Amino acid sequence: MPSLTQKPDWSILIPLLNEQATLEPLCNQLASVAKACNKQIEIILVDDGSTDGSWQAIQRLASNSDYIYGIRFRRNFGKAAALSAGLQQCSAPIVITMDADLQDEPQELPNLVARLEDGFDCVSGWKKERQDPWHKRWPSLGFNALVNWITGLKLHDHNCGLKAYRREALDEIQLYGEMHRFIPALVAARGFRVTELAVHHSPRQHGVSKYGWTRLPKGFLDLMTVSLLTGYRQRPSHLLGSVGLTSLLFGGLSLSWLTLWWFLSRTISSEAPIHLHQRAIFYYAMAAIIVGVQLVVMGILAELIIATQRSTSAPYAISEKVSRPSNSESMITEPMALATGKDPAASNHATSNQMSPEAGAYGS
């Protein structure tokens, strides 16, 4: 295996759980790919509470090389937590994430990085010919379609573990819960350019899958969270207020109609007068008005909370700045990675023109 003699070109981040048998061949393959591409790499292995001796394998690999770094959790905290912890140790401008089960092939890494160099900030792998049983493939088809519809980011495989990012894109988001499934959607909502690339997917040779049917309800709930964070994080009253006003409108119109009916039944109509307490729609209208008022008030309170406890994360992402010319000096274009006070990235790239639901409207 080659040694790390300078700052790495790629940081390869690998979260794992009980993958002892695959770690050594995986690291050997990654080293071979890096040597063939003439790239310096670092490998960050995050042990998410393994019980099979994976940590001992990581210790052995790290002791025999200077480009492998290991992190061990006290217990299983989840893939998003493992990615978040590993990201803090990544020092390269390009971060590649992959699974440790050897189903993601290291030979795909140069192809992912080549797409980044085409001007993208995130390249998501697409397991076009997925080597998994039907009970994993079929639910994923429906889940990906739902994510595409709700987030507006059209990808075939949001949950593929093989992805490549520019570091500044990952610095713009926070990972927790099961948010690792939606990293492309989160970075796209910040204005970064996202694409996908078909990758080869190998059948599992060692260990067992760590995911089952229980991930579906969790994934759906996290998808709702992502939708709220990307669309209404800075303006919750637009969501709560819209639903509340709709409820108020329904309740108000229904109650107005009932009032008119009650009046006419007692003055003009020859039919027996109606009694509001005997009409189910009367109670529906009253409930709609009460719920509508509560939602509008909740939206206003949410706006007050955001205004007084606003996070340090800026509600925008800057691609670059241009300075004013000074005397005879020409204008200088300065790439900016973040709007949060961190060091700008060394690469200049364009951001996506796609508007997120949170973006403000201009003009009348």
CATH number at residue 41: 3.90.550.10
Residues, the chain, total?
364
**By three-state DSSP, how is residue 159 classified?**
coil
Residue 358: inside a domain, yes or no?
no
Q: Where residue 314 falls among pLDDT bands split at 50, 70, 90?
A: low
Q: Are residues 153 and 244 in the same domain?
A: no
Q: Which residues contact 206 (CB under 8 A, 6 or more apart)?
A: 19, 21, 22, 101, 102
Residue 353: the pLDDT is 40
Q: Are residues 220 and 281 in the same domain?
A: no
Residue 316: is its pLDDT beyond 80?
no
What share of the chain in percent tops pLDDT 70? 77
Residue 260: is its pLDDT beyond 70?
yes
Residue 254: inside a domain, yes or no?
yes
Residue 17 contacts residue 52 (beta carbons within 8 Å): no
Q: Are residues 293 and 214 in the same domain?
A: no
Residue 343: inside a domain, yes or no?
no
Residue 331: inside a domain, yes or no?
no
For 326-339, the pLDDT digits (tens) are 554 444 444 444 34
Instruction: Report the distance separating Cα 352 and Cα 194, nearest Å.
Output: 8
Residue 36: inside a domain, yes or no?
yes
Instruction: Please say which residue of 191, 212, 232 terminates a domain.
Output: 232
Q: Are residues 15 and 120 in the same domain?
A: yes
The crossing angle, in degrees rounded to 10, of helices 54-63 and 20-37 is 30
Q: How many domains does the chain have?
A: 2
Please report, for the chain, how many H helices and E strands are present, in that order: 10, 9
Residue 131: is its pLDDT beyond 70?
no
Higher local confidence (pLDDT), 170 or 201: 170
Instruction: Please say which residue of 180, 214, 232 terminates a domain.
Output: 232
Residue 9: the pLDDT is 95
Q: Are residues 44 and 193 in the same domain?
A: yes
Mean pLDDT of all residues in 195-224: 73
Tokens standing for 162?
Answer: 């093989």
Residue 95 contacts residue 165 (beta carbons within 8 Å): yes
Q: Are residues 66 and 123 in the same domain?
A: yes
Q: Are residues 176 and 194 in the same domain?
A: yes
Rounded to the nearest integer, the mean pLDDT of the chain is 81
The crossing angle, in degrees rounded to 10, of helices 236-267 and 215-232 is 90
Q: Which residues contact 229 (CB under 8 A, 6 or more apart)?
A: 186, 189
Q: Calculate the CA 350 to chain-centre distance.
A: 20
Tokens standing for 101?
Answer: 């089960």
Residue 281: inside a domain, yes or no?
yes
Instruction: Please say which residue of 185, 200, 232 terminates a domain.
Output: 232
Q: Where residue 208 falls among pLDDT bands split at 50, 70, 90?
A: low
Residue 305: the pLDDT is 81
Q: Where residue 30 falls among pLDDT bands split at 50, 70, 90?
A: very high
Q: Are residues 72 and 167 in the same domain?
A: yes
Mean pLDDT of all residues in 262-282: 82
Range name among 21-25, 76-80, 211-215, 348-352 with the lowest pLDDT average = 348-352
Mean pLDDT of all residues in 123-150: 80
Q: Are residues 205 and 83 in the same domain?
A: yes
- Which residues form the domain of 131? 10-232
Most confident range, picked from 68-77, 171-180, 216-225: 68-77
Mean pLDDT of all residues in 308-317: 61
Mean pLDDT of all residues in 329-357: 42
Residue 139: the pLDDT is 76
Residue 355 contacts residue 362 (beta carbons within 8 Å): no
Residue 206: is its pLDDT beyond 50?
yes
Range name among 56-65, 196-205, 224-233, 336-345 with the lowest pLDDT average = 336-345
Q: Where residue 217 falls among pLDDT bands split at 50, 70, 90?
A: confident
Q: Are residues 127 and 213 in the same domain?
A: yes
Residue 79: is its pLDDT beyond 70?
yes
Sign of CA pseudo-dihedral 145, 147, 151, 155? negative
Q: What count of Cα atoms within 13 Å lies in the side-chain half-sphere of residue 35? A: 10
Higher local confidence (pLDDT), 64 or 344: 64
Q: Are residues 215 and 243 in the same domain?
A: no
Looking only at the bridges linking them, the beta strands covering 41-47 and 94-97 are unpaired
Q: Are residues 131 and 251 in the same domain?
A: no
Residue 336: inside a domain, yes or no?
no
User: Greatest CA separation found in the chain?
Assistant: 97
Residue 121 contacts residue 169 (beta carbons within 8 Å): yes
Rounded to 5°, angle at Cα 356 from 352 and 359: 105
Residue 345: inside a domain, yes or no?
no
Residue 292: is its pLDDT beyond 90?
yes
Mean pLDDT of all residues in 253-268: 87
Instruction: Report the distance separating Cα 47 and Cα 16, nearest Å.
Output: 5
User: Look-up: residue for tokens 């978040």?
Assistant: 84
Q: Which residues contact 19 (CB under 8 A, 6 or more apart)?
A: 50, 52, 54, 100, 101, 206, 207
